[in-house]
Amino acid sequence: RTVYVNGEYLPETEAKVSIFDRGFLMADGVYEVTSVLDGKLIDFDGHAKRLERSLRELDMAAPITMEELLEVHRELVRLNGIEEGMIYLQITRGAPEDRDFAFPDPAKVPSTIVLFTQNKPGLANSPAAAKGLKVISIEDIRWGRRDIKTVQLLYPSMGKMMAKKAGCDDAWMVEDGFVTEGTSNNAYIVKDGKIITRQLSNDILHGITRAAVLKFAEEAQMVVEERPFTIAEAQAADEAFITSASTFVMPVVEIDGTALGDGTPGPVSKRLREIYLEESRKAAI
């Protein structure tokens, strides 16, 4: 696989990052994941804008312009022959000579940028979408700036492991009695045709897929209500689903052992997945 690191395209075995990199030592970094369908980028502009926001919120310099970044994405897709898959991008506050909590002077320490691809043939035709996911609920003990897409992914990883151990696919996190989001996705329920999902705030990541799906839902005259919901409300809902760049719209069929409806993906989730795939393919660049 060819990867990109600090301005160079290299075989993955030759790409190197310093052991003093603050991404490694302190999780002082941000990331993005953009999906690829038909060899084209889905919602690149949305991901680039969120990346700029994450960098700004953390006072981190962008080592590249968004135009150049688009070129790097396209070049990696080409070099690795990706038809369906993902492009991961990570920017950290670089590698100062000494380990120190204080941020280094950006004029002296350039940020580190790394991009790599993951080839996922069949991503859009995933069997999981036909079956639906089982989720458990866990407490949300993450920090208070979940709107910034940082590389602090330890708790989400632990959440996935807790789900796996329980024989499930993912975990929905709960804070003060209300669902925030999934470990790596936004969470939704559907009741009497109405789509309910938590409103944007610092409590959740502002999903790029979420923004697109809510827009498509409204264009299709579906009713969307942005408010928090509880696990009990979700268990009594007609359907549920998640969204993320790597899963698109993915039905959820069971929450903490309670099947939703007849335990198979619901019509609203299925329709939204179809609309999302069709529309985002059309708009891909």
Tell me whether residue 185 or residue 280 sits nearer to ligand PMP (CB atom).
185
Whole-angstrom distance, CA of residue 253 vs CA of residue 255: 7
Whole-angstrom distance, CA of residue 258 vs CA of residue 6: 48
Tell me whether residue 55 or residue 245 sits nearer to ligand PMP (CB atom).
245
CB of 175 to ligand PMP, least distance (A): 13
Tell me whether residue 160 or residue 210 sits nearer to ligand PMP (CB atom).
210
* 73-77 contact pairs (CB < 8 A, 24+): 73/34, 73/41, 73/44, 73/115, 74/41, 75/4, 75/9, 76/2, 76/3, 76/4, 76/9, 76/115, 76/116, 76/117, 77/36, 77/39, 77/40, 77/41, 77/117
Closest CA to 204 of 236, 233, 235, 172: 172
CB of 152 to ligand PMP, least distance (A): 11
Tell me whether residue 117 or residue 184 sits nearer to ligand PMP (CB atom).
184
CB of 57 to ligand PMP, least distance (A): 15
- 149 catalytic, yes or no? yes
CB of 144 to ligand PMP, least distance (A): 14
CB of 25 to ligand PMP, least distance (A): 22
Answer yes or no: are the C-beta atoms of 87 and 69 closer than 8 Å.
no
Tell me whether residue 30 or residue 255 sits nearer to ligand PMP (CB atom).
30
Tell me whether residue 96 or residue 140 sits nearer to ligand PMP (CB atom).
140
Q: Which of 16, 108, 120, 149 is catalytic?
A: 149
| Helix, coil or strand: residue 38 | coil
Read out DSSP for 192-252?
Answer: TTEEEEPPPSTTS---HHHHHHHHHHHHTT-EEEE----HHHHHTSSEEEEEETTTEEEEE
Q: How many residues does the chain have?
A: 285
Answer yes or no: are the C-beta atoms of 28 and 102 closer than 8 Å.
no
CB of 186 to ligand PMP, least distance (A): 5
Say which amino acid occupies 209: T
Whole-angstrom distance, CA of residue 89 vs CA of residue 72: 10
Question: Is the Cα torsion angle 137, 144, 64, 66 positive or negative in sign?
Answer: positive
What residues make contact with ligand PMP under the rule CB under 6 A?
Answer: 33, 181, 184-186, 205, 207-210, 243-245
Residues marked as catalytic: 149
